[in-house]
Structure 1
Amino acid sequence: MVMRLFSLIFFIFFSSYATAAQVVATVDRTSIASGQSLILEVNAMGVTGELDLNGLDESFEILSQARSNSLQIVNGSMNRSIIWRLILMPKKAGQLMIPALRVERVQSQPIVINVREPVVDSKSSGKAEDLFIEVSLTPQSLYVQQQAVFTLRIYHAINLSEASLVMPSVEHAQFERLGEDQTYSEQRQGKTYRVIERRYGFSAQASGEMNIDPVVVQAQVPVTDAYGRQRLGSFGGLFNQTRPVRLESRSMTLKIKPRVDKMEGRWWLPARELKVEEIWPLHNQEVRVGDSITRTITLSAFGLSANQLPEIETAPNDGLQIYPDKAALNTALQGDLMLGKRVEKWALVASKPGTYTLPEINIPWWDTVNDQARIARLPPRTVVVFPALQQAESLPRAVGSPTSTTQEVPLNTTQENRQIWFWLACFAFVGWALSLGAIFWWWWRQARRDKSFLNKKEPVGLNTRLRDVERACLAGEPHAVKQALLQWASKQWPDQPPMSLLQIGQRLADDAVRHEMQALDAAQYAEPQGQAGSTNPNLVKLIQHALANEKKRQKAKAESLLPDL
């Protein structure tokens, strides 16, 4: 009797334990596409041990794992449970098995997961997926250093959040992002997708076979139920449930062709099209000494970036100063091709009249469409430079012109000529003495008037125009110096004022001043214009020294005209 009672109590206890102690594993989906994650929940009731995940990592990657405890009291009965929530990413396609998971001595049932192959193109897929990637390369046949456009498109029919992109790292090649992302809508198999398109410039630096690994995109997508409806989170859907996804594009294998040995020149320029164009601002217009001409040459190529285009070299030309500007580089997309442009400008200033020839420009390049060598040519240009207007007016008229006259001169005029030259010399001497006295008197009065300027450390005896030149030099403003010099020169030589800085240097006939005028003239066309520190603060002193030397030469010349006593 006692043994029966003991057996009955043991059976009731064991049955209740066996009913309470159980491990249940469930997933949100049993059929997914490659790159999509699934949620695995393991509910252990009546046991308090740890979850054994042995064998799960053979087919799945565990992205995250969380644990929570639950306690329920129903009709005085207390139930305890432990819930594990795991997010799994399949490692391969096919039928994968989630093994039986054990907690202490109790285990769950295995679950079969069907993982479909990754979608390369939804047009050829039997089912319209909610999320997939497409990649393309244009053109697919490349030479070494030739630029191609790598296009990445992400199609999604569901919302994405926290998306990130991992580009492949290719040895002896580089990707360069082009422009901003484009977003638009597209229909595929009756489903509307939002498309995110991004483009990269791709170039290989070595020939041979080259592999481009898949592009990887990771993001968070909403969690849906068996009917495709989004599961709402807490606070009425304010914090909706999401799960991670990881997509991979198809890989690519390229055969990069080497540089052609028969190509001449230093540059290797493989392109679909390359041309050189010139903008010449003068059409049937006269060019005179001191005028500035801006020559613009544009080099453009389909299939090359702007950084690959060579610098256009200019040969020196005697009498024609060439001041180059900084080249403007621009790389853009035109359709599915990369277009590189290089724009170069030069300022041309002639220092003397004459005919100048700018040489022909030849740029060899390789035509990737027809596989043959070509040369982009710019024909030579001839520039005829006339004298400055003041110089042209002062030139003697040609003999036989309508305004020229002829006059017969008697042969026996030697004595008369001597008397004329004697009186001319006397008048010149008196005029020179009066001029010298007037200059001394003017200098004496100017020195007394400008005593207040001595404390400012300004040179004594400078007239107003030279003071303007000195102030502009001290401020380091090349344009202001030029204007002040031209105004001063118009007062210094009112009959034939110089029209350029180079002409002022020629008038003063001093090597140091001539050098400063050339440097100042170059600063007018340099970039950035008006850069401080490009003027000589001692320029006025050099001009004064040149003027003093000129006066000495004139005095010596006047004395040489006096007849012998």
Structure 2
Amino acid sequence: MKALSVIFILLLSFNGYATTKVTASVSQNPVAVGQAFTLEIMADDTLAASEFDSSVLLRQKFVVGSTSTSRQHTSINGESSTQTRWTTTLLVREEGNYLIPSFNIGGQNTTPIQLKAKVIAAIEPSKDQVRMEVSLDNAEVYIGQPVTYTAKIWVANSLDQANIIAPSMLGAKIEKLGDDKQDLEVIDGKRYRTLTRHWLLTPEKAGEFEVRGPRLSGLANDINRRARPVDIAAQTLSLEVKAPPASFPGTWLPSNDLLLYEEIQPLQSDYQQGQAFTRIINLTIAGITEEQLPEIAIDYGEDFRVYPEAYQDRTIVKDGIVFAQRSLNVALIPVNEGELTLPGWSLPWWDLAKDQQASADIAPRTITVVAAPVNQQLQTLSSNQNIAPEVIEKPSTSIWTWFFALAWLLTMALLVWVIKRKKVAITAEAELEQSEYTTALDDDYWAQFSAACKSGHMHQAEQALGKWVAKQELNSSFASLHKEISTANWASEVKEDFDLVAFFQQCQALKKQHQNKKEQGEAALSSLNP
């Protein structure tokens, strides 16, 4: 009897768990070819958004849009209920029969849906008064020079379930720029609702290209409130992409405007040895994205201990123009005293407005570093040691006077020796920290170069190798290798036969050969200086 009771309780628990109901439905069936519709999955339980996976619809030849998840909690006459709802936008390209498969949600399966797609004549935009115009802000650009692609849509009445497919172009990166702008316009006495959307198109290869326009679909209502599908494809535009000039030095950087300046905090007439201050370098470049911002690498030599912070990067859009900004904060501690120089920095770039090479520069700055208090004491003690004590012969001078004088001199000499050793230790520590930081940075650049070669990313490999080479004292062999990959990257036609793995192995062998020579040289110097 007890066993039957346990089984009965388990059955009740199982039935309670299995009460979750899951349903699937579509906004319309049949659907129009090229017309967006929605799939809705609803469960009467609180479930995670990850329970629904829309990727399986791709295998059924659906164009899958974004998925939104919502939850609703209601309480009626003391009875509470919760619903989780997933809504996905779908579209089919060809006429025929389609299957929306069963989904397992919360342990329950939805019922499959047989869907039929028909070709329905779309309303002529002129009749429905829906139209779209597109434009490029520049039809001739350089590699890496972003161009703004704009689409503007006019709707006279209403457009439901609107869907815009982005423009496309081979050999270019395309991303949505900023937020859409909605407005009202009156044309020939008739009011229109307008929507303006921008994309940022960054070409990565040289040549003549076609930019396929965006596609707009939706359900438009005419003056009789009859809903008919609208499918508008914008015109194809031409874009000429030029290769960078062969004479341009360094990493290619095209822009319409560039601003480079520095700040010193705190700004003082002189600084104390060992006292930290901050140098801030700010760089703003018009018309590029954060990924194209250049490295800011400055060698401060042995006069300073250098502690750079991570870059602070951001992208802003102002008056339809994209600006990429980079700020670098570097904490500097003077190691030596006297007149020290903060090195300048020069950044070559291509002025698109003048179509010529330009340079942005930070001039070297000289600062005065005074001795720290402990060093001032050291100088005083050293000068006192060099002055012979004045001895006044007095008949009454006792042996104890000479004893205390000698003890004082020995104490002062010991104090001078301790302070000098401390200064040497601080300098050695600073040199060790700078060496470790430089070594770590070099290893990081080489690791980035290795990873880029193994993953087949030529542009990233070129940039990482260039940063690593800039930090080394190497022969012209590495410069030739860097020029080789740079030429392959910016060629007007893609070099399919360029083997990145073999290229990395060649660089690795040359690096090892250079390291062996360096170690042999150090060993020879070590034998000469026992």
- What TM-score do you get using the length of structure 2 for normalisation? 0.52
Residue 539 (structure 1) aligns with:
none
Residue 235 (structure 2) aligns with:
250
Q: 2:407 and 2:378 mapped to 1: Cα distance?
A: 28
Residue 103 (structure 1) aligns with:
none
Q: 1:85 to 1:205 in 2, by over 3 A?
A: closer
Shift of 1:289: 2.2
Shift of 1:339: 1.5
Could you report, residue by residue, the CA deviation over 1:140-183 in whole angstroms, capped at 9, with x for unpaired residues? 32111101111222221222222222123321111122222222
Q: 2:261 and 2:395 mapped to 1: Cα distance?
A: 67
Q: 2:362 and 2:320 mapped to 1: Cα distance?
A: 28
Could you report, residue by residue, the CA deviation over 1:322-347 in whole angstroms, capped at 9, with x for unpaired residues? 11111112222222322221111111
Q: How do 1:179-328 residues align onto structure 2 when only pairs under 5 Å count?
A: 179-222=178-221, 224=222, 228-231=223-226, 242-264=227-249, 266-328=250-312
Residue 120 (structure 2) aligns with:
88
Q: 1:176 to 1:415 in 2, by over 3 A?
A: farther
Q: 2:354 aligns with which of 364, 370, 379?
A: 370
Q: 2:262 and 2:210 mapped to 1: Cα distance?
A: 41
Letter in 1 for 2:152: R
Q: 1:221 to 1:384 in 2, by over 3 A?
A: same
Q: 1:312 to 1:128 in 2, by over 3 A?
A: farther
Q: 2:245 and 2:326 mapped to 1: Cα distance?
A: 24
Q: 1:187 and 1:505 mapped to 2: Cα distance?
A: 84
Shift of 1:319: 3.3
Q: 1:166 to 1:354 in 2, by over 3 A?
A: same
Contact 2:147 2:200 in 1 (8 A): yes
Residue 14 (structure 2) aligns with:
none
Shift of 1:381: 1.0
Q: How do 1:399-478 residues align onto structure 2 when only pairs under 5 Å count?
A: 409=391, 420-422=401-403
Q: 1:229 to 1:357 in 2, by over 3 A?
A: same
Q: How do 1:527-546 residues align onto structure 2 when only pairs under 5 Å count?
A: none
Contact 1:87 1:243 in 2 (8 A): no
Q: 1:345 and 1:357 mapped to 2: Cα distance?
A: 18
Q: 1:199 and 1:413 mapped to 2: Cα distance?
A: 99
Q: 1:304 and 1:371 mapped to 2: Cα distance?
A: 16
Shift of 1:209: 0.6
Q: 2:94 and 2:296 mapped to 1: Cα distance?
A: 59
Residue 158 (structure 2) aligns with:
159
Query: Alpha carbon RMSD of aligned pairs, Å?
Result: 4.5
SS at 1:396 equivalent: helix
Does 1:173 pair with 2:169? no
Residue 329 (structure 1) aligns with:
313
SS at 2:403 equivalent: helix
Q: 1:130 to 1:353 in 2, by over 3 A?
A: same
Which region of structure 1 is more displaced relative to structure 2, 129-138 or 280-289? 280-289
Letter in 2 for 1:148: V
Residue 148 (structure 1) aligns with:
147
Q: 1:504 and 1:89 mapped to 2: Cα distance?
A: 92
Shift of 1:375: 0.9
Letter in 1 for 2:283: L
Contact 1:178 1:199 in 2 (8 A): yes
Letter in 2 for 1:162: Q
Q: 1:230 and 1:504 mapped to 2: Cα distance?
A: 93
Shift of 1:216: 0.6
Contact 1:133 1:152 in 2 (8 A): yes
Q: 1:386 to 1:316 in 2, by over 3 A?
A: same
Residue 540 (structure 1) aligns with:
none
Residue 348 (structure 1) aligns with:
332
Q: How do 1:501-516 residues align onto structure 2 when only pairs under 5 Å count?
A: 507=422, 515=429
Shift of 1:396: 2.4
Letter in 1 for 2:228: R
Pick the structure with greater CA Rg: 1
Q: 1:426 to 1:246 in 2, by over 3 A?
A: closer
Unaligned runs of 5+ residues in structure 2 are 1-33, 37-92, 98-115, 438-530
Identical aligned pairs, as a percentage?
24
Q: 1:315 and 1:187 mapped to 2: Cα distance?
A: 60
Contact 1:63 1:89 in 2 (8 A): no
Q: 1:268 and 1:382 mapped to 2: Cα distance?
A: 31
Shift of 1:281: 2.3
Q: 1:506 to 1:328 in 2, by over 3 A?
A: farther
Q: 2:273 and 2:184 mapped to 1: Cα distance?
A: 62
Shift of 1:293: 1.2
SS at 2:314 equivalent: strand
Aligned length: 322
Contact 2:269 2:368 in 1 (8 A): no
Q: 2:394 and 2:144 mapped to 1: Cα distance?
A: 86
Could you report, residue by residue, the CA deviation over 1:56-84 in whole angstroms, capped at 9, with x for unpaired residues? xxxxx98799xxxxxxxxxxxxxxxxxx9
Shift of 1:256: 1.2
- What TM-score do you get using the length of structure 1 for normalisation? 0.49
Could you report, residue by residue, the CA deviation over 1:483-520 in whole angstroms, capped at 9, with x for unpaired residues? xxxxxxxxxxxx9xxxxxxx999759879x98599879
Which ranges of 4 or more aligned residues in structure 1 deviate by more than 3 Å? 61-65, 84-87, 282-285, 389-395, 405-410, 412-429, 503-511, 513-520
SS at 2:209 equivalent: strand
Shift of 1:379: 0.6
Q: 2:283 and 2:402 mapped to 1: Cα distance?
A: 67
Residue 438 (structure 1) aligns with:
none
